[in-house]
Chains A and B, each alone.
Chain A
Amino acid sequence: MSSTTPIGEQREARLLAAFVRLADTLVDDYDMADLLHELAQHCVEILDVAAAGLLLSTQRGTESLQVLASSTEQTRLLELFQLQTNEGPCLECVRTGEAILVPDLTVAIERWPRFAPEALREGFVQVHALPLRLRGETIGALNLFGRRPGPLPEQDLRAARALADTATIGILQERAIHRGEVLTEQLQYALHSRVVIEQAKGVLAQAGDLDMDQSFQVLRAYARSHNSRLSEVAHQLVSGALRPQIVLASAPAAT
Chain B
Amino acid sequence: MTHPPGQFESLGPVRAAITAALLDQASGVEVVRRLCQACVELLPVDGASVSVMSDSDYRETLYASDEVIAHIEAVQFTLGEGPCYEAFHGGRPVLVPDLAAAVALSWPLFAAEMVDQPVAAVFAFPLQSGAIRIGAMDLYRRTPGWLSAEQVAIALHAVDIATLALLAAQAGTLDGDGQAWADLPLHREQVHQATGMVIAALEIPAAQALARLRGYAFSAGRLVDDVARDLVARRISPYDLDP
Contacts and interface: CB of A to CB of B under 8 A. Distances in A.
A55 B192 CA distance: 17
Given A60-B160, A195-B130, A239-B131, A186 B92 contact: yes
Interface of A: 57-62, 64, 66-67, 75, 78, 82, 85, 94-95, 137-139, 179-181, 184-186, 188-189, 191-196, 198-207, 212, 234-235, 237-240, 244
Interface residues of B, number: 46
B197 interface: yes
B93 A184 contact: yes
B76 to A, nearest CB: 18
B153 interface: yes
B135 to A, nearest CB: 14
A59 B189 contact: no
Interface string B155-175: 011001000000000000000
Nearest to B94: A185
A193 B129 CA distance: 10
B153 A60 contact: yes
B196 A205 contact: yes
Interface in B87-108: 90-97, 102
Interface string B15-38: 000000000000000000000000
B197 A94 contact: no
A138 B126 CA distance: 24
Contacts of B2: 62, 95
Contact of B201 (A137, A185, A206): A206
Nearest to B206: A238
Contacts of A60: 8, 153, 156-157, 160
Contact of A199 (B102, B125, B131): B131
Contacts of B149: 59
B235 interface: no
Nearest to A240: B205
A138 B233 CA distance: 34
A85 B7 CA distance: 18
Task: Identify the interface centre among A180, A193, A202: most chain B CB within 10 Å of its CB.
Answer: A202
